[in-house]
Amino acid sequence: MTEQNKTKTPQEGMKKGLQTQMLYMLSFFVYIIILSNTTLRTAIGNALDVVFSPLIGFNFDLPVLTLLLAGILIGVVTSIPRYFFTDWLKMGKAQNRMKAFSKTMREAYKSGQKDRIQKLRKMQMDVTMEQQQVSMNTMKPLMIFSVVTYLIFIWLFSFIANLPYAIVAFPWNWNVNLNTHFYAYIYYWIIIYFLAVMVVGYFVTMVIKYVDFTYKLRRMEYSTENEIND
């Protein structure tokens, strides 16, 4: 009975992971529909204005600061739970296994070892499944935070559209209209927002990782000292 459960566990985990991924993709598809529909996007954005405008709207006086704070907020909100919901040890093992598998597969193809290639192909599904399962387990608890990210981004569209004066200055251009100026087909304000999200997200993750790993190392040292003293 135990062996059967062990055999079924990866498949069941993969099935649940695929269900989570499908749900995530469905929510993203709905999000894209909302963004594409100007009327629907504006209605939702105006409704969200009641929540976000008093927090970071600044009465439309500091639009760049609003964009930066929105990016910082999302960077913090998504990075902290992502770190604690991620099994870093399991993820590292899965990545190293995939890297070693790919290297072995390349070497087998180069040397023309048909038996070895056939054996590796049978292993390929297990290796890929392991890596996907780790990613899906991380994705599942983050779905609620993804919804928050979607809502803030939808609100920003409404916020920028309602700016009474949308001209701001950057070092490379002193007259940037946030409503009309693009860089490589992307609005300037979207670039500012995503840069803030990425920089803050990376910084917060590194800080938490450093603090958490330092704490764990100290705890291990303390327990080792106690074992020696006992």
Please give the structure tokens belonging to residue 176: 């940037």
Q: Give the pLDDT of residue 207.
A: 86
Q: Give the pLDDT of residue 5.
A: 42
User: Using one digit for the tens of pLDDT, what is the confidence trace for 103-122?
Assistant: 888 888 888 877 878 887 77
Beta-ladder partners of 173 = 170
Confirm whether 84 is domain-assigned. yes
Confirm whether 163 is domain-assigned. yes
User: Using one digit for the tens of pLDDT, what is the confidence trace for 38-95?
Assistant: 999 999 999 999 999 999 999 999 999 999 999 999 988 888 887 777 777 777 777 7
Cα–Cα distance, 153 to 158 (Å, whole number) = 9
Residue 196 has pLDDT above 70, yes or no: yes
Confirm whether 149 is domain-assigned. yes
- Note down the domain range covering 178: 2-218
- Band (pLDDT 50/70/90 cuts) for residue 141 is low
The count of structural domains within the chain is 1
Confirm whether 157 is domain-assigned. yes
Cα–Cα distance, 52 to 150 (Å, whole number) = 13
Confirm whether 223 is domain-assigned. no
Q: Give the pLDDT of residue 224.
A: 61
Task: Kindly report the number of other CB atoms within 10 A of residue 195's CB atom.
Answer: 13
Confirm whether 229 is domain-assigned. no
Confirm whether 123 is domain-assigned. yes
Dihedral sign for Cα 108, 109, 114, 118, please: positive
Confirm whether 89 is domain-assigned. yes
Q: Give the pLDDT of residue 13.
A: 53
| SS3 assignment for the chain | CHHHHHHHHHHHHHHHHHHHHHHHHHHHHHHHHHHHCHHHHHHHHHHHHHHHHHHHHHHHCCHHHHHHHHHHHHHHHHHHHHHHHCCHHHHHHHHHHHHHHHHHHHHHHHHCCHHHHHHHHHHHHHHHHHHHHHHHHHHHHHHHHHHHHHHHHHHHHHHHHCCCCCEEEECCEEEEECCCCEECCEEHHHHHHHHHHHHHHHHHHHHHHHHHHHHHHHHHHHHHHHHHHC
User: Using one digit for the tens of pLDDT, what is the confidence trace for 156-189?
Assistant: 999 999 999 888 877 777 888 888 887 778 888 9
